[in-house]
Amino acid sequence: MENSFKLFNPMKDNSSNLPNIPGNYLIVLRESSQLPPIEITPELHAIDYKGNLYQVIYTGISTKSIRERDYKQHFTDNNAGKSTLRKSLGSLMGFSKIPRDKNNPHNKKTKFNEEDEKKLSKWMKENLLIFYNIENKEKKQIENLEKKLINDYNPPLNILGNNNLINHEYRALLKNLRNKTNLNS
């Protein structure tokens, strides 16, 4: 792990230091952080990085740019409509979703209101770290590593492609929370 992934700390590192090329990433909790609590507590698996253990909550891929996908879509305001990670975390925090497209409010695409998006960005920067890997450049290699990371770490916020029985109930509850909006909840 230590050799192939690099650490990015959104509280102190500049996003321009993230590579603008394809790769894989892991989202982990800072050592003293926890996921927002709901009725079910997930079982978390940790990675060892330079003697520190970090609990993995999500993994993903970028076929174009680690900088654009990891940081700009996940960690900046008003992106819950484009980031499954943001939508999951905001749903765990109990934020209500609103239609993303004012011209087509019934297309089921949602985001959080501006104030909640800002709270979410702040929480993410204070509680999460990013590990990224840019060794694989081909789409198939990136996808294969993502499957391996899902199998190895069973990140509870990865719903798609995660068939592990551990955290199955947690992911089902998360999926229900993600599907609720203030219009139909």
For residue 83, what are its two tokens?
């980031």
For residue 106, what are its two tokens?
């019934």
**Cβ-based burial of 51 (10 A; exposed 0-12, middle 13-18, buried ≥19):** exposed
Give residue 38's pLDDT. 95
The string of DSSP letters for 147-163 reads: HHHHHHH--TT--TT--
Instruction: Kindly report the pTM of this predicted structure.
Output: 0.90
Enumerate the domain spans of the chain.
6-179
Give residue 111's pLDDT. 83
Give residue 98's pLDDT. 85
Low-confidence spans in the chain with pLDDT less than 70? 1-2, 69-72, 77-81, 105, 181-185
159-163, Cβ contacts within 8 angstroms, sequence gap of 24 or more: 159/84, 159/88, 160/84
Give residue 9's pLDDT. 94
Residues whose CB falls within 8 Å of the CB of residue 172, separated by 6 or more in sequence, listed in order: none
